[in-house]
Amino acid sequence: MDDIDALFAQDGPLARAFDGFRVRVPQVEMAREVLAAIRERGTRVLEAGTGVGKTAAYLVPALLEGGKVIVSTGTKTLQDQLFHRDLPAIRAALAVPVTVALLKGRANYVCLYHLARTEAEGLLASRQETRDLREVGRFAQLSASGDKSECATVPEHATIWARVTSTRDNCLGSECPHYTDCFVMKARRQAQDADVVVVNHHLFFADLMLREEGVTALLPSAQTVIFDEAHQLPHTATLFFGETVSTAQLLELCRDALAEGMAQARDATNWPQALAPLERATRDLRLCFAAGSQRMAAGQIAEGSGFEAALDRLKTALAGVNELLAAQAERSPGLAQLFRRGAAISQQLHDWNAPERADEPELCWIDVLHTGVVLHRTPISVAELFRRQRLGLQSGQGDGAGDAEGSVRAADTGGAETAAPAAPAPDVAVWHPLPSAAQPGADDTPPPAQPQAWIFTSATLAVKQDFSHFTRDLGLDDARCQSWASPFDYPNQALLYVPEHLPEPNTSGHTDALIDAALPLLRANRGRAFVLCTTHRAVERAAQRLRDAFEAAGDPYLVLRQGEAARGLLLERFRDHGNAVLVGSQSFWEGVDVRGEALSLVVIDKLPFTPPDDPVLAKRLQLLAQAGGNPFMEHQVPQAIITLKQGAGRLIRGETDRGVLMIGDTRLVTKPYGRRIWQSLPPMRRTRDEAVALDFIRAGEAVSEGSADARTPAD
């Protein structure tokens, strides 16, 4: 522990490496906790407020203590930041000879097989796709990684990427003619050899999901597992431990079967005619529901919708296609893989809405999108599933054999509809938390688990120092929990403003009233604001209302709306413009770091309670009530607090930042639970008086333009 003090001392290696470094007691204390957990192979849940410096607090002991370390982050953006900036800087400061690797989902890497097939087919939708395909081809020839984020000439959201990357469904594994040069396999080999591997939560849970099915994982045992942005884990785990099948998967199967059949078995059948019934039955499933998007439990489907009959027709049509693919499977690896895909989807359709397991309550529900349908079978609680993994157990112990290509093929981005926000497709399974070589003995007893250190950290895990909401969701009964408040001077740096006379948040005119109340602050602040909404509809209405108001008054403030461009591009335009207003929903509530005067006002429209029409939430609350609990206070309020803390955290990002947090939800003041919510926020001054908020903004104009310090990896 004395070593930790020396490393973080004012004359230590970190201070010599980073300009502006200073000793932060909470950071040192957190580093000690991480080091103790690593040495004890224990579990820690550590909340560190903005400015504590949690990245360095967990990286320093992890790098020095040795062993295999897995660091999982909340997003690919944070993953890149950690790998390209924080890790190299701290490794250099400590002068430790550790190797590091970055591993993303396979959808981030060019697939040489699908690139070649797309080039040969030449069936592209536009001239832009043709141009992008040429650029991807050049990039693949020159790139060592094949990571599409490094292809500067083709945007990451370009449609061509879906044609030149692989999914877990259409990967050929070791049967692929490009297997030796595969970018995904190269990345995995580097990860297997590295001391520190940086992944994201989706990759991590994709692996746990596959371990539940007995599939061999791809990375060796790790001694230390660190989750940054750990508050996202319960939601991500729920998605990945569930099962999903979508109409998009079926349509993709039809498209791939047509291309492969015409190329490898043209003489076998009239492929367009053979596949037409499946495509028609797939589209007919969507016609069972009204226009627009909606979510419902299986038991809520209207009897006269025709859904059951349409689902039966779909199963029958898929069975016919599977028979055809089975008969032609020996003619090419692609056809063999298509048969496996079809059989897997058929089994998922059969299992959907089957009787749930009594020991693990589940919910079968439907996500109806504008263009398709997603069928979900979701566990109500993932605590036992996750606990079982941490204890080194599995629901069904595999034989430990399995070849690499089998794992590669099964453990990757699936065919879930990308438009479904509740069910992002799984990424590559990349992490093996247990020893892999040992086999069960004659009595079929699973091999003993290797003790590991588990570190869960975020700025938002507790509700007034109470971690039970988080630990209960993940089954972390053995965790030691600790929290450190932000070192920032919130009483002087920030003001919480809840306007008076706003309508109730569930009324139709709330968004318009919110914008009317925010306009004086936006003008006094010269833009430089985020407007964070809880729904996409509110985002559209707020953005339009702001544009109309600014145009009518001749205000020079640019309004940026989520969805008009990629998030990174919107943030770049926001910073560059200098007086913009960015209106966004969930993706801007967290993982966004804008320091200094560029962002000095955050407007939040409502308390972020999960919509009551979410069928999984409704089932969870029902079970909690049946057990004698208080669903609202024990689940909904804590979850809203954690989300609100994330949104509020966008405001103050540095020691010299200053700004106003405006929350347009009077329940924060009028409801008994409101006090618990605002007491969980940083200790800002509070007001309901617009004049006080305007005075605070005007006083902030005296702050020098260059007051925001540049961020260093030690932050």
Q: Is the pLDDT of residue 566 over 90?
A: no
The string over 368-397, giving b where at least 16 C-beta atoms fall within 10 Å of a residue's C-beta and e elsewhere, is bbeebbbbbbbbbbbbebbebbbebebeee
Q: Would you tell me how many other CB atoms lie within 10 Å of the CB of residue 464?
A: 11
Half-sphere exposure in the Cβ direction for 629 (13 Å, CA): 14
Tell me which of 563 and 491 has the higher pLDDT. Answer: 491
CA-closest candidate to residue 12, choices 24, 20, 1, 23: 23
Q: Which residue has the tokens 């690593």?
A: 38
pLDDT at 417 (0 to 100): 31
Are the C-beta atoms of 247 and 609 separated by less than 8 Å? no
For residues 233 and 711, give the distance between their C-alpha atoms in angstroms, rounded to a whole number: 26
Give the tokens for residue 34: 């991480």
- In this structure, which amino acid lies at residue 660? V
Q: Which of 1-5, 436-440, 574-578 has the lowest mean pLDDT?
A: 436-440
CA-closest candidate to residue 585, choices 421, 424, 423: 421
CA-closest candidate to residue 114, choices 140, 86, 90: 140
Distance of alpha carbon 16 from its chain centroid, rounded? 35
Give alpha helix (H) positions in 488-535.
490-493, 510-524
Are the C-beta atoms of 282 and 342 separated by less than 8 Å? no
What stretches of 90-223 adopt beta strand conformation (E)? 100-102, 196-200
DSSP secondary structure of 39-57: HHT-EEEEEE-TTS-HHHH
For residues 91-113, give the mean pLDDT. Answer: 92
pLDDT at 209 (0 to 100): 61
Q: What is the DSSP letter of 598?
A: G
The string over 36-46, giving b where at least 16 C-beta atoms fall within 10 Å of a residue's C-beta and e elsewhere, is bbbeeebbbbb
For residues 174 and 406, give the distance between their C-alpha atoms in angstroms, rounded to a whole number: 8
531-547 pLDDT, tens digit each: 999 999 999 999 999 99
DSSP secondary structure of 404-428: HHHHHHHSS-----TT-TT-PPP--
Give the tokens for residue 609: 């309670």
For residues 79-97, give the mean pLDDT. Answer: 93
For residues 48-73, give the mean pLDDT. Answer: 92
For residues 232 and 631, give the distance between their C-alpha atoms in angstroms, rounded to a whole number: 20
- Percent pLDDT > 90 in the chain is 64
pLDDT at 19 (0 to 100): 85
pLDDT at 148 (0 to 100): 92
639-656 pLDDT, tens digit each: 999 999 999 999 999 888
Percent composition of the chain: helix, strand, coil (DSSP 3-state, to 5):
50, 10, 40
pLDDT at 208 (0 to 100): 63
* β-strand partners of 573: none
Give the tokens for residue 130: 């043709």
184-241 pLDDT, tens digit each: 989 888 888 899 999 999 888 876 665 554 444 544 468 899 999 999 999 999 888 8
Are the C-beta atoms of 107 and 413 separated by less than 8 Å? yes
Long-range contacts of 76-80 (CB under 8 A, 24+ apart): 76/104, 76/108, 76/149, 76/200, 77/568, 77/591, 78/200, 78/228, 78/229, 78/591, 79/104, 79/198, 79/199, 79/200, 80/149
Report the C-alpha dihedral over residues 538, 543, 544, 547, rounded to 10 degrees: 160
357-412 pLDDT, tens digit each: 666 788 999 999 999 999 999 999 989 888 887 776 323 333 333 333 333 333 33
Give the tokens for residue 265: 């078995």
Burial of 367 (0-12, 13-18, 19+ CB in 10 A): buried
Q: Which of 101-105, 282-286, 648-652 has the lowest mean pLDDT?
A: 101-105
By residue count, the chain amounts to 715
For 712, phi then psi, to 5°, come to -115, 160
Q: To the nearest whole number, what is the mean pLDDT of the chain?
A: 85
308-326 pLDDT, tens digit each: 999 999 999 999 999 999 9
